[in-house]
């Protein structure tokens, strides 16, 4: 099979021909139809992600594929699966228990782009942040993969959504996703504008850096802040005095960890999300579909912030 691998830390993606993987006990072999690309993939290539596999490896943690062989699922079943890495390839193995049958009306690209972004938004906002109807949700990085899904899920949960994005085009995409108010971070002031809108009850932050600091100061008393990534490159240091004065909660959140210590949380969440998709309540946004041979360009789209929503690699 063909695969695109990184051979050493920070190295380029290289085309490699190798044997198809053999499914182990409880696994299935998938013929990959599409692979969702995540910011975590770029961190794995650099060797800075919390779960970077040994080199060489193929990036790609979420896929849509057809079951070719193995135990637990009928051959020919189309599924979406979290595989950790290996999705930049024509075939990959996956635990049968981690595979979710894809609804007939869902495209391969939407299925590959669905699990991480929507799963992260739903578990984060319901299970961790306890977002309630009528509360105000502030979404940073709102035009990215987990930003747009947070807007959609937040609105379905009954929240008022303030979205922060960079530039008019990305702000327009956030508005189209359902945001009630949009702040252009190229020209606006997050702290001032959010406070003018009444403040935030929940902050959704895949960005970190200066935007986290501004959002922290725009929170209502007893607000909850979820740092789930640091796309700015800066991990913010949190002043405990502000937490004390406003009775704030900062809640660490890593969606993938639930696969290990509480998989039932993810299973329940995905059941809800696929039902919402079937009802037409969710609209995945895929800005780019990139051939496998050009997978390096897919990573560059995220690094350069030229993508909106999700990028998908198609073998």
Helix 168-176 to helix 145-156 angle (10° resolution) is: 30
How far is residue 312's CA from residue 289's CA, in Å, rounded to a whole number? 5
Helix 39-46 to helix 295-303 angle (10° resolution) is: 100
pLDDT at residue number 263: 83
Give the domains, in start order, of the chain with CATH numbers.
2-114+285-314 (3.90.180.10), 119-253 (3.40.50.720)
Which residues of the chain have a pLDDT value below 70? none
- Burial per residue of 60-74, b for 16 or more beta-carbon CB atoms within 10 angstroms, e otherwise: bbbbbbbbeebebbe
Cα-flanking dihedrals φ and ψ of residue 52, to 5°? Answer: -80, 125
pLDDT at residue number 136: 98
Distance of CA 187 to the CA centre of its chain: 26
pLDDT at residue number 271: 87
Integer distance in angstroms from the first to the last C-alpha of the chain? 10
Query: Cβ(189)–Cβ(214) under 8 Å?
Result: yes
Prediction pTM value? 0.88
Query: Cβ(239)–Cβ(114) under 8 Å?
Result: no
Cα-flanking dihedrals φ and ψ of residue 240, to 5°? Answer: -65, -25
Q: How many CA atoms, within 13 angstroms, populate the side-chain half-sphere of residue 147?
A: 32
């Amino acid at each position: 099979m063909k695969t695109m691998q990184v051979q050493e830390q920070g190295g380029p993606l290289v085309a490699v021909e190798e044997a198809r993987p053999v499914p182990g006990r409880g696994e299935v072999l998938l013929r990959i139809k599409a692979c969702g690309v995540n910011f975590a993939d770029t961190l794995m290539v650099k060797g800075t992600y919390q779960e970077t596999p040994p080199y060489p490896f193929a990036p790609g943690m979420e896929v849509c594929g057809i079951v070719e062989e193995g135990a637990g699922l009928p051959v020919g079943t189309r599924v979406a699966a979290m595989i950790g890495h290996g999705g930049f390839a024509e075939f990959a193995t996956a635990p049968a228990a981690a595979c979710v049958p894809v609804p007939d009306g869902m495209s391969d690209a939407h299925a590959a782009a669905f699990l991480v972004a929507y799963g992260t938004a739903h578990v984060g906002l319901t299970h961790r942040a306890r977002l309630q109807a009528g509360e105000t949700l502030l979404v940073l990085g709102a035009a990215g993969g987990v930003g747009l899904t947070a807007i959609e899920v937040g609105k379905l949960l009954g929240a008022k959504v303030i979205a922060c994005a960079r530039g008019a085009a990305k702000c327009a995409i956030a508005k189209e996703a359902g945001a009630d108010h949009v702040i252009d971070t190229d020209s606006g002031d997050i702290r001032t504008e959010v406070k003018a809108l009444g403040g935030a009850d929940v902050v959704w932050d895949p960005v970190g850096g200066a935007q986290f600091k501004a959002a922290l100061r725009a929170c209502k008393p007893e607000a909850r802040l979820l740092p789930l990534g640091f796309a700015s490159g800066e991990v913010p240091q949190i002043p405990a005095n502000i937490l004390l004065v406003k009775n704030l909660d900062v809640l660490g959140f890593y969606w993938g960890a639930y696969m290990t210590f509480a998989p039932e949380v993810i299973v329940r969440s995905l059941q809800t999300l696929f039902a919402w998709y079937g009802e037409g309540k969710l609209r995945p946004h895929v800005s780019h579909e990139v051939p496998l041979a050009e997978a390096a360009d897919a990573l560059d789209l995220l690094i350069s912030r030229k993508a909106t929503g999700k990028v998908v690699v198609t073998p």
